[in-house]
Amino acid sequence: MAKAIELNGLTKTYGASRGLIELSLSVERGEVFGYLGPNGAGKSTTIRLLLDLIRPTSGTARVLGMDPRGDAVALHEKIGYLAGDFVAPGRQRVGAVLRFLATLRGGAGADRIDALCGRLELDQSKQISALSKGNRQKVGLVQAFMHEPELLILDEPTSGLDPLAQQIFLDMVSEAAAGGQTVFMSSHIMSEVEAVADQVGIIREGRLVALDTVAGLRADAVRDVEVTFARPVDRAEFAALTGVVDVRVEGAALRCQVTGSPDALLRALAGHHVASLLVTEPALEDLFHSYYTGEADAA
């Protein structure tokens, strides 16, 4: 079976300005893919290319095994899309808008509107123009999810949502993936991607600089280590270890940082009576900032 998304050398330029530069990545079916980057990095450009809303300068894209341009009608039936700037007619009521969108899909999803609106606490009787930004975003979420598409493409999906609604959204993503749907989710909120993503791509200035699982991104990251021994230790013993840096010893307390495998440090610790050990894993947000600011090499 074809992959959900497969991009090869995808490039988009706007005159002298760059949009994307030779982007290559693949997303497996049933996977949640987190696409991270700051505003202007190329996230929305990628999504618009996937949907054939704009055309690439060069390179190829396949979505659910189909050509976004040649197979657009058949492909769009299988996709749920939430735009980063989602809008709906202000004079219409929430329920009417959602049922109209279901009608455009031949009625697909109409039977799930009530359940999704209830789950998100979205009042269907309200006019769109009277909604807060967060509630307008909920309308966008319902229309994207309601027909249970094979592929969900979500551009900054939690924009404006309160923390409770954000958690409900993450639950919806997890449930979609468990049911075999694929989710391609662009975001600049690291914690939400970390909570649900199977794979993460980090884009910087139009180039993909990292592509891995969250665990894989952390494998070569710096970890903070704090060790308390039963008796004082010699700093020199630990300062000479491979992958151990910034070593500080105060009596029986050791603080250091470890890059890559902690094997050398663990072997050294085995020769002592360790009273306590604390290892702090880097948050995905820290990893993202290290790639964005150039502190890590591009993948």
Contact 113, 101 (CB under 8 A): no
Contact 126, 135 (CB under 8 A): yes
pLDDT band at 295 (very low <50, low <70, confident <90, very high): very low
Residue with tokens 């990251």: 221
Check pLDDT > 50 for residue 296: no
> What is the mean predicted confidence (pLDDT) over 71-87?
93
Which domains, and CATH codes, for the chain? 5-217 (3.40.50.300), 222-280 (3.30.70)
Q: What pLDDT is stored for residue 17 in this prediction?
A: 77
Check pLDDT > 80 for residue 294: no
d(CA 83, CA 101): 15
- CA-to-CA dists, residue 74 to 36, 51, 70, 212, angstroms: 28, 12, 9, 31
Q: Poorest-confidence range of 164-178, 227-241, 283-297?
A: 283-297
Q: Poorest-confidence range of 138-147, 204-213, 231-240?
A: 204-213
Q: What are phi and psi of 191, to 5 degrees?
A: -65, -35
d(CA 193, CA 190): 5
pTM of the predicted model, to two decimals? Answer: 0.80
Q: What pLDDT is stored for residue 55 in this prediction?
A: 94
Q: What pLDDT is stored for residue 291 in this prediction?
A: 67
Over the stretch 50-74, which tens digit does the pLDDT of each residue have?
999 999 999 999 999 999 999 999 9
Over the stretch 230-277, which tens digit does the pLDDT of each residue have?
999 999 999 999 999 999 999 999 999 998 788 999 999 999 999 999
Instruction: Strands of 4-101 (E only): list them.
Output: 5-14, 17-27, 32-36, 58-63, 79-82
